[in-house]
């Protein structure tokens, strides 16, 4: 029988994978992919809690997280395209322009 703990462990594993991506990647586009993984991992946790406690709030929060993710991608990709036009690269290190 699959319990809530199974789903929470899975969500934790996926979150850890996303965290590895966030720390490992220096390409900004790949960094965006990793943040999507983080959001999806949290969504699984929310929906699992919603199911096992018989509460709808979890599903609604997951719904709002999806809305936030959609707008984040729209704005983020716009900024990324603008940065690529100016500098010809989407590398994270190209953002370090303030040399101390």
**Span 43-62, contacts to another protein by CB under 8 A:** 43-45, 47-48, 50-51, 53-57, 59-60, 62
Length of the chain: 100
30 binds another protein (CB under 8 A): yes
99 binds another protein (CB under 8 A): no
Pick out residues in 58-87 that bind another protein (CB under 8 A): 59-60, 62-64, 66-75, 77-82, 84-86
Is the Cβ–Cβ distance between 52 and 65 less than 8 Å? no
Q: Which residues contact 72 (CB under 8 A, 6 or more apart)?
A: 35
Exposed/middle/buried for residue 75 (C-beta within 10 Å: 0-12, 13-18, 19+): exposed
Of the pair 57, 95, the CB lying nearest another protein is at: 57
Of the pair 50, 100, the CB lying nearest another protein is at: 50
């Amino acid at each position: 029988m699959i319990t809530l703990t199974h789903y929470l462990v899975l969500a934790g594993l996926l979150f850890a994978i996303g965290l590895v991506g966030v720390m490992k990647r220096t390409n900004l586009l790949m960094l965006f992919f990793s943040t999507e993984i983080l959001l999806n991992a949290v969504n699984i946790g929310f929906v699992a809690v919603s199911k096992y406690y018989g509460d709808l709030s979890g599903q609604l929060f997951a719904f709002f997280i999806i809305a936030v993710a959609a707008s984040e991608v729209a704005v983020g990709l716009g900024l990324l395209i603008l940065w690529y036009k100016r500098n010809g690269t989407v590398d994270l290190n190209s953002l370090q322009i303030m040399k101390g």
